[in-house]
Amino acid sequence: MAPAETRPRVTLKIATSLDGRIGTSSGESQWITGPEARLQGHRLRSQSDAVLVGVETVLADDPRLTVRLPEGEVPGRNPLRVVLDSRLRTPPFARLAVEGTLIVTTRDPASTGPIGAAEIVRVAGDAQNRPTIAAVMALLAERGVKELMIEGGGRVAACFVTAGLVDAIEWFRAPILLGGDGRPGVAALSLARLANAPKYRRLAVEALGDDLWERYERHS
């Protein structure tokens, strides 16, 4: 793991229903929140050095992860786009299969060939042969990333939370309910006791259209 003073600062950006779901049971997720919340998400993205998603988000949503601001606002930079993809399932026609995207895998890139113009980097794997969080953080630190924003999905969020690396949360909450069969914003943390739950301090709450924008930082 990169030393605490050099590792990227990690922000979890999440858009959910009132009951913490990022999609329906079928995986439909666009769009849970309204345009005001999505615009603020782009502003936050423009302040990051890198944005990170898992391959399941790529397969479900085919995101661009670029900064798109309305005319009149100062254009934000596009951060480095990072995909965690242990088995190299990112399609070559995906909108992230372009220059400026880093695909992090545990598989030999030569086994599948190039994925569009994206860069593929192999790192150490965990017991499930997924990229270890330590290896990902070390790689991004080497690339000069100081501000990392995680944008999906629930399993990726849970891995970073469990590792104790989520420093801040930007939570956009829509006034809808998706139920227990919806896809969770944060997957299982395997907590047996409340005392072991990661704790955060609320910094602010703001209405954005019909949605709420809640800001948190890790409790010291």
**pLDDT higher than 80, residue 30:** no
Supply the pTM of this predicted model.
0.91
Cα(51)–Cα(12) distance, integer angstroms: 10
CATH 3.40.430.10 fits 9-218, yes or no: yes
Break the chain into its structural domains and give their ranges: 9-218
pLDDT band at 194 (very low <50, low <70, confident <90, very high): very high
- Under a CB-based contact definition with an 8 Å cutoff, are residues 103 and 85 in contact? yes
pLDDT band at 80 (very low <50, low <70, confident <90, very high): very high
What SS3 state is found at 162?
helix
For the chain, what is the largest distance between any 2 Cα atoms, rounded to a whole number of angstroms?
A: 50
Cα(152)–Cα(18) distance, integer angstroms: 17
